[in-house]
Amino acid sequence: MFDFQDLFQWDRFITPTIIKTFYWLVISLIVLFGISGIFSGLATMAISPFRGFILLLSSIASVVVGVVSSRIAAEFILIVFRINEHLGAIRDQGQMR
C-alpha cells in the first residue's frame, strides 16, 4: 500500500496502488445499475413485452460491456505507469555508464 509520506514524494506514484480500489468501486456501480436496468426491464414487460425484453437484453449487455471496458481502462492506466517505471530504469542504466 502507500504511506502518508508518499503523498509528498514524487519518486513513487500512488495511483497504481489505489487503482484496484477504484476498479472494484466501478464494477460495483456497474452491477448495481445493471440490476436496476434488469428490474426496469422486467417491470416494463408487464406493459410492453417486446420493449421490456429489449431493455432487459440491453441492461445485461451494458453490464458485460461496462465490466470489460472498466478492466481495459484500469489496465491501460497501470500499463502507462509501468512504462514510466521501465523508462526510469533505462534512464538509470544509461547514467551509470
What is the separation, in whole angstroms, between the first and last Cα of the chain?
33
- Dist. CA 27–CA 52, nearest whole Å: 24
The per-residue pLDDT for range 2-45, each reduced to its tens digit, is 566 666 666 667 777 789 899 999 999 999 999 999 999 999 99
Q: How confident is the model at residue 94 (pLDDT cuts 50, 70, 90)?
A: confident
Please state the pTM of the whole predicted model.
0.75
